[in-house]
Every structure is written in structure tokens, then in C-alpha cells.
């Protein structure tokens, strides 16, 4: 039997095709992207080697720095929503609530729905004429606060952040709940016998023992907010006047609209490095505290 399982040809048959596909279309493109990002090219005509000039230009490009800032605001908004709200709801669900499974499944649902559809749905909710937000404000007598939410430079970003909070909060509820369920239940019994209140249990038992899940969730929230695309592309495509520009939409614009592919692939590189860097930093931050 072992002899059969050692045969080289089986390794090629079973693993070969997927590995080939993954290397050719998954890994090599990243190397190729690094190369393109050092050139000025429209992919058709001749390309000119410019070294790190694309990267230098990016950091002097006010729209790109605006895009990064906006991504960071998404990170912040999502972090608040997903750490505070998700933690509260998942802690409630953790208290052996009847129907917890059902609540959890329903909360999770928006996160599996197409981001493009969600963006369009919410552009109706924010619609100046018939949208829910403005009609609600009118109904309670706050007409003066009605806005053209997604076309106003000051309100567009917070409005979009709310959508992304709404879409993914359930996902993080489920992840954090899974983390709480992993904690040894006898700890709570012991704590209850010792007279610890729910709040003390939360602070002294759940929070420290959830560190690993919180680390993972932090990585998910941050990389998710850095990679965000569909929602912005469909609602505002970065407008008005770049007020809601994010790195992915700017990358799309520079590549497939302005045809500056070298410049665009440099944005792709920065996005990739930011995601990898954020992951590394979070892991290190949690690791040192963990001993």
C-alpha cells in the first residue's frame, strides 16, 4: 500500500494540476506585478523603466493619499462597529439564549449577499427623494438634516462606512461567538461559585481568553477594510470629487480608465504590502502581550 502511495505519478496526477494553476495564475502574477510597477506602460506600446518613480509619485498624489486616508477611516469605522457592537451582541447570544442559532444565522446573512447589490440597495436607502433616511428625517420633523447623502463630500464617507458596518457586523458576531464558545465552560461555573458578576466574568475570563480570536478578527477587519471595492465602486466610484476614493477604486481608475498600468500596479503592490504589514503588526502586537 505504502508503495502505491509513494508513486511519483500519483503525486503529479493529484497535486500537479492545481499547483500548476495556482503558481501560474496566483503566484507568478504577483512577481510580474512587482516588475510592471517599476515601469511606465500602457501594456500595449513600449514600456519605460522608471524605477521607484511610480511609488514616489503615488505618495505625492493627493488623490492617492486621500484614498489611503479613506481606507483608514473605513478601518476605524469597521473596528468600532465590529468590536463594540459585535462583541455586545455575541456576548448576549453566548448567555444560552433561546433561538441564539437563528439570530446568529440571520445576522450573518447580509455578509454573504453580493456587495454590488448591497451598495445599490443602500443608494436607494440614501436616495434624496424617496430614500428611507430622508423620509424618516422628514417624518420626525428634522427636515433640515436631510441631505443628498452620497453626493455630498462631507457625508459620503460616513454614509458608506455605515453600509459596510451593516453588511459585516453579523459575520464578526459569529466569529466572536465561536471564540467565546471555545472557552472552557467550567471556568464560568467556578467564577460564579466564587461570586464573580457577569461583568467580572467578561473582563477577567472571556476577554483574555478570546485574545486569539480578537487578533484574528482584527486582521479580518483591517484587511477587509483595506481591500474594500464593490461597495464604493457601485455607489460613488470614488466621487464626488474623490471624497470617497479608496485604494482599490483608484487602482481601477488609474489602470483601466487612465491606462497607466505601471502606476496602477504600484497601487496594487502597496495594497498587498499594507495587508501583509497589518497582519504582521497585529500578530506581533498580540503575541508580545501573550508572552
Question: What part of residues 194-213 is at the interface with another protein (CB under 8 A)?
Answer: 213
What does the alpha-carbon distance between residue 235 and residue 72 come to, in Å, rounded to a whole number? 19
80 binds another protein (CB under 8 A): no
Question: Is it true that the peptide bond before 35 is cis, omega within 30 degrees of 0?
Answer: no
281 binds another protein (CB under 8 A): no
Q: Which of 118, 161, 127, 151 is CA-nearest to residue 135?
A: 127
Using rule CB under 8 A, residue 84 touches another protein: no
Residues β-bridged to residue 40: 48
First to last CA, the chain: 45
| 251 touching another protein, by CB under 8 A | yes
- Position 238 contacts another protein (CB under 8 A): no
- Tell me, residue by residue from 30 to 59, as one string, x for binding to another protein by CB under 8 A and - for no binding: x-xx--x------x----------------
Stretch that binds another protein, among 49-57, 59-67, 75-83, 87-95 (CB under 8 A): 87-95
> Which of 20-28, 145-153, 187-195, 238-246 is the region at the interface with another protein (rule: CB under 8 A)?
20-28
Of residues 129 and 186, the one with the C-beta less far from another protein = 129
State whether residue 38 is helix, strand or coil: coil
Nearest to 269 by CA among 63, 59, 55, 74: 55
Query: Cis bond leading into 240, ω under 30°?
Result: yes
- Options 48-56, 64-72, 172-180, 202-210: segment touching another protein (CB under 8 A): 172-180
> Cα–Cα distance between 60 and 115 in angstroms, integer?
31
- Say whether residue 128 binds another protein (CB under 8 A): no
Residue spans of beta strands (DSSP E) within the chain: 39-40, 48-49
Minimum distance, C-beta of residue 147 to another protein, in the bound complex (Å): 16
- Please, what is the minimum distance in Å from the beta carbon of residue 194 to another protein? 20
Window 256-275: residues binding another protein (CB under 8 A): 256, 261, 264-265, 267-269, 271-272, 275
Distance of CA 53 to the CA centre of its chain: 29
Where in 97-116 is the site for another protein (CB under 8 A)?
97, 103-110, 112-116
Residue 89 as a binder of another protein (CB under 8 A): the answer is: yes
**Separation CA 236–CA 230 (nearest Å):** 10
Amino acid at each position: 500500500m505504502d508503495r502505491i502511495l509513494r508513486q511519483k505519478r500519483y503525486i503529479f496526477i493529484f497535486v500537479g494540476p492545481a499547483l500548476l494553476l495556482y503558481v501560474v495564475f496566483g503566484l507568478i502574477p504577483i512577481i510580474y506585478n512587482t516588475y510592471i510597477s517599476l515601469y511606465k506602460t500602457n501594456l500595449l506600446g513600449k514600456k519605460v523603466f522608471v524605477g521607484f518613480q511610480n511609488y514616489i509619485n503615488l505618495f505625492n498624489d493627493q488623490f492617492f493619499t486621500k484614498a489611503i486616508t479613506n481606507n483608514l477611516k473605513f478601518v476605524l469605522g469597521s473596528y468600532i462597529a465590529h468590536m463594540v457592537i459585535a462583541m455586545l451582541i455575541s456576548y448576549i447570544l453566548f448567555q444560552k439564549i433561546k433561538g441564539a442559532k437563528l439570530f446568529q444565522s440571520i445576522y450573518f446573512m447580509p455578509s454573504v449577499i453580493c456587495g454590488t447589490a448591497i451598495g445599490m440597495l443602500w443608494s436607494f436607502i440614501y436616495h434624496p427623494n424617496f430614500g428611507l433616511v430622508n423620509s424618516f428625517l422628514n417624518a420626525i420633523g428634522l427636515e433640515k438634516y436631510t441631505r443628498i447623502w452620497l453626493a455630498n463630500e462631507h457625508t459620503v464617507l460616513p454614509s458608506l462606512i455605515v453600509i459596510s458596518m451593516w453588511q459585516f457586523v453579523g459575520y464578526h458576531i459569529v466569529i466572536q461567538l465561536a471564540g467565546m464558545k471555545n472557552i472552557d465552560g467550567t471556568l464560568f461555573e467556578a467564577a460564579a461559585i466564587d461570586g464573580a458578576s457577569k461583568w467580572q466574568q467578561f473582563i477577567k475570563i472571556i476577554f483574555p481568553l478570546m485574545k486569539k480570536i480578537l487578533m484574528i478578527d482584527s486582521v479580518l477587519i483591517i484587511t477587509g477594510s483595506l481591500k474594500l471595492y464593490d461597495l464604493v465602486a457601485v455607489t460613488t466610484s470614488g466621487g464626488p470629487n474623490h471624497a470617497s476614493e479608496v485604494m482599490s477604486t483608484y487602482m481601477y481608475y488609474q489602470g483601466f480608465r487612465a491606462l497607466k498600468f505601471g502606476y496602477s500596479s504600484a497601487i496594487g503592490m502597496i495594497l498587498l504590502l499594507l495587508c501583509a504589514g497589518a497582519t504582521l503588526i497585529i500578530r506581533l502586537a498580540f503575541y508580545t502581550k501573550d508572552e
